[in-house]
Amino acid sequence: MKQKLIDMKDIVKFYKMGKNKLTVLNQVSLEVEEGEFVAVLGPSGSGKSTLMNIIGCIDIASSGEFTLAGENIMKKSEDELAHVRNKVVGFIFQRFNLLPKYTAIHNVAFPLFLRGLNKKDAYREASELLKKVGLGDRVNHKPMELSGGQQQRVSIARALVGKPKILLADEPTGALDSKSGGEIMELFLELNKDGNTIVLITHDLEIAKKAHRIIHVKDGKIHNFL
């Protein structure tokens, strides 16, 4: 039986702005099982990025229920949230967020260094992951020596470090041309076939159509499932 990795019920997120209250998410409910490839689609300002931040334990909901990989997120302290985030979620960002002075293999190995793994073993795992994303011949290249699509592959390899339960991708093709973006989406499909659960945030319907399920967010609410 597949595990329910994301289980949100009636999630509300608001921010106080002086005497006013800005509600960004309003009664959002969402379930994602392991092995799914889900796209969260919505325009700028729809609330999809806030939803991503809550899923990734970067932000906390104001109210509602949220269980992530069996953990009750609403009752976690900041330190506990950081632990869950590092263990459960692999993040992929639009702008890659690579260390510019270091090689691809060092960028991928860096999270392993933070976990105390020695350089030899960290580099071995990083090398295997770079091969997995099609960059086995680019391990010693720095980000500026790589194309945008290749840089995004490095960031995907880094996200795979530690075998996270969920890959959370925020507009992963937004900084790429259509050809490179299409190649990245094909890579996501391959990773999903290998068993990786993927939640992808996008404003682009054509990108969202590559996923197996589309969740449409508008004005802080989930309006329909396509």
Band (pLDDT 50/70/90 cuts) for residue 86 is: confident
Token look-up 């399920």 returns 213
What is the per-residue pLDDT across 135-156, written as a single tens digit (0 to 9) for each? 999 999 999 999 999 999 999 9
Token look-up 């996200």 returns 159
pLDDT of residue 103: 97
Least confident piece of the model among 56-65, 80-89, 136-145, 216-225: 216-225
* Structure tokens, 119: 């350089």
pTM: 0.93
* Structure tokens, 48: 């999809």
Q: Spell out the domain ranges in the chain.
A: 4-225
- Burial of residue 72 (number of CB atoms within 10 Å: 0-12, 13-18, 19+): exposed
Phi, psi of 21 (to 5 degrees): -125, 120
Domain 4-225 has CATH 3.40.50.300: yes
Q: How far apart are CA 3 and CA 6, in angstroms?
A: 9
pLDDT of residue 132: 95
Residue type, 145: E
Pairing mode, strands 221-225 and 166-170: unpaired
What is the per-residue pLDDT across 155-200, written as a single tens digit (0 to 9) for each? 999 999 989 999 999 999 988 999 999 999 999 999 999 999 999 9
Q: Which of 171, 192, 170 is nearest to 34 (CA)?
A: 192
Sheet (strand 20-33) strand order: 20-33, 4-17, 63-68, 71-72
CB atoms within 10 A of CB 170: 20
Q: How far apart are CA 114 and CA 208, in angstroms?
A: 33
State percent of the chain over pLDDT 90. 83
Please say whether the beta carbons of 68 and 55 come within 8 A. yes
Q: How far apart are CA 113 and CA 110, in angstroms?
A: 5
Sheet (strand 197-202) strand order: 89-92, 166-170, 197-202, 37-41, 213-218, 221-225
